[in-house]
Amino acid sequence: MGEFELIHELFAPLATDPGALGLTDDASVFSLPKGVEAVITKDVMVEGVHFLPETDPARVAQKLLRVNLSDLAAMGADPKGYWLGVQLRKEGAHDWLATFVEGLKADQATFGVSLMGGDTVATPGPIALSLTALGTVPMGAALKRSGARPGDKIYVSGAIGDGVLGLRAAKGDLPDLDGVDRNYLLGRLECPTPRLALGRALRGFASAAIDISDGLAADGAHVAEASSACLMIEAEAVPLSDAARRVLAKGLTTLEELLSGGDDYELLFTAPVARAGEVEKLTADVPVTAIGEVTAGAGVRVSRNGAPLSFPKGRAGGGFSHF
């Protein structure tokens, strides 16, 4: 089957937005309503780096879409559509793509987005995937990393550390893990939940926000740098899932690993103390936990019972880095 046959059979049914033009033109057309502005993000995933070769292609598709939606969530945006780039080996391409598309189809229904266009090419390997997502926010309402101010409280959504444990479980590094915990952690790694409702709810009073992809400490450092402030995080206040707590209790991980491992795709945000009541009243379907405060200074400081935690890598927070 040739490239255009693949597009017609597998991808055209995903192009549900009229602006996608059925994937029959050189580009798509997208108009913005009055009073809103575009938020655009892009992520790349490579086999052997971001996902293991044996990972279910449907899960690969869902993670690719969801990590981009998580970027939109961090800026308070409503997702609208996405553009896809696929670099795939010829052998087995149709079957792999057919399963991959099923994952996209399921998530398009979940998140209300449409494929808008893209490109598909052959490669000797490895598989490489690129996705550009577009969202919208009311004019001037986008959340940014740069607004944290001394005195603000620091919050995080959900639980931290599941992503790195899911990766270790996928690699077989946690052989004694309970089956239920293993499935939970793999789900958190391969199919994270973008906190879109929370991001929308934070418009207007969160002073800064970021999604946690490189690790809580490292992404906190990004906010600190952009805001010219210091983020003081209390490690014992950081929420952990029951599965992560069980792994920690067995001595199979450390708090340092959980706070620097990445792939959590939760939201880290700051808000003035005077707006704490609004944080507590959030109706988004995810718990939010206060984990520290913003002070004058620079960088991120993570402490446990008053003692600073040290991370294994050289850069602030010890988070993931490609280079």
pLDDT band with cut points at 50, 70 and 90 for residue 1: low
Q: Is residue 196 part of a domain?
A: yes
- The Cα 270–Cα 152 span in angstroms is 6
Q: What's the pLDDT tens digit per position in 99-116?
A: 999 999 999 999 999 999
Residues 140-156 have a mean pLDDT of 97
- The Cα 244–Cα 175 span in angstroms is 15
pLDDT band with cut points at 50, 70 and 90 for residue 310: confident
- The Cα 64–Cα 68 span in angstroms is 7
Residues 75-94 have a mean pLDDT of 95
pLDDT at residue 284 is higher than 80: no
Is residue 10 located within the same domain as residue 107?
yes
pLDDT band with cut points at 50, 70 and 90 for residue 65: very high
**DSSP structural state of residue 184:** H
Q: What's the pLDDT tens digit per position in 267-281?
A: 999 999 999 999 988
Domain of residue 255: give its range.
Answer: 153-310
pLDDT on residue 313: 57
Sequence-ordered list of residues with C-beta below 8 angstroms from that of 263, at least 6 positions apart, any chain: 163, 164, 166, 167, 189, 192, 213, 320
Burial environment of residue 300 by CB neighbours within 10 A (0 to 12, 13 to 18, 19 or more) = buried
pLDDT band with cut points at 50, 70 and 90 for residue 125: confident
Is residue 173 located within the same domain as residue 74?
no
Mean pLDDT of the chain: 93
Is residue 8 located within the same domain as residue 117?
yes
**What is the distance between the terminal CA atoms of the chain, rounded to a whole angstrom?**
38
Is residue 160 located within the same domain as residue 303?
yes
DSSP string, 196-213: HHHHHHTTTT-SEEEE-S
Can you give the pTM of this predicted structure? 0.94
Is residue 193 located within the same domain as residue 250?
yes
**DSSP structural state of residue 318:** G
- The Cα 263–Cα 152 span in angstroms is 25
Question: What CATH number has the domain bearing residue 220?
Answer: 3.90.650.10
DSSP string, 54-91: TS-HHHHHHHHHHHHHHHHHHTTPEEEEEEEEEEE-ST
Q: Is residue 268 part of a domain?
A: yes
Q: Name the domain boundary from 109, 138, 167.
A: 138
pLDDT on residue 315: 42
